[in-house]
Amino acid sequence: MPIYDIAKIEAAMAGIIKANVSPDTWIWLQQFNKLPNDYSALNTAFMIIPRKTGKSAVTINDSFKNWTIDRLCRVWLLLQWDTTDQDKYYQTIENLFLSAEMNESVALYSALPFLAYPEIWIKRCAEGIRSNIGSVLEAIMYNNPYPLVYLDQAAWNQLILKAFFTEKSVPSILGLDKRANKELASILSDYARERWAAGRKVNPTLWRLVAGFIDEKIFEDIKIGLARDDMAEKEAIALAISESSFEPAKQWLSNIPELKSVVTDKALNWDKVSIN
């Protein structure tokens, strides 16, 4: 089932595009409006769109930050594909993924929430997480509901770990709290311990995803973090402990007054942690 009302999304996109391209370019784009079965023409249009539209930034809303007009037009164009034949529809768009250069890939992964037959793109989304191209990862991660709704736990956990590993804005990923899980908490705790052993810092937001799953093993890692000099990390760990039900960790925190007070005074939350 689609994540969005595609008709409304398509109309909204069309309005923004029309306001940001020349009349001639809009007329050119309109010829692809539900053009039946002419996949060759649509493929060609997808590739040459920047030549027609330019690459200027467009203002959409808070969920679609840092988009350019060519990216938006490419996503809109994908909504013009004829979806009657699922196999042909899939193969045509999959071929675009396989041959895409960076900006084309960004548009394609941005389009995942809008494509027909959303379940058939799960493997493609998981493949994208393996990319080493920052803008491609951001297209998958930032304000994109597709991973939240469709990725299985293993792929979701890979996405989150990759976000920390590549130093992405983890709070920009939708569904962090909803998709938090014990396996991910263990993976992230191990990751934090390895970072500390190498003398490196840990993104404090990591502990948001560990909070509900603190156990004896994770508690041992937490003790290491609380003994470090990085106050931002320690405050995040304290906040995680305050949200957990693991009593030994709560007792441990009670013996560190400067951290306990931050939590009891409610001076800290995960939004503030993500800013620091």
Look at residue 248 and tell me if it is in a domain: yes
Q: What is the pLDDT of residues 33-43, one digit of tens each?
A: 766 667 788 88
Dist CA 80 CA 269 (whole Å):
43
End-to-end CA gap in the chain: 38
- Report helix, strand or coil for 220: helix
The total number of structural domains that make up the chain: 1
Look at residue 15 and tell me if it is in a domain: no
The pLDDT of residue 2 is 64
Look at residue 240 and tell me if it is in a domain: yes
Look at residue 70 and tell me if it is in a domain: no
Task: Identify the H or E element spanning 67.
Answer: strand 67-68
Tokens of 12: 């909204």
Residue 173: beta bridge partners?
142
Look at residue 229 and tell me if it is in a domain: yes
Decide if pLDDT at 276 tops 60.
no
Domain that holds residue 209: 180-276
Please state the pTM of the whole predicted model: 0.93
Look at residue 259 and tell me if it is in a domain: yes
Q: What is the pLDDT of residues 141-158, one digit of tens each?
A: 999 999 999 999 999 999
Q: 67-68 and 57-58: which strand pairing?
A: antiparallel
Look at residue 234 and tell me if it is in a domain: yes
Look at residue 246 and tell me if it is in a domain: yes
**Total residue length of the chain:** 276
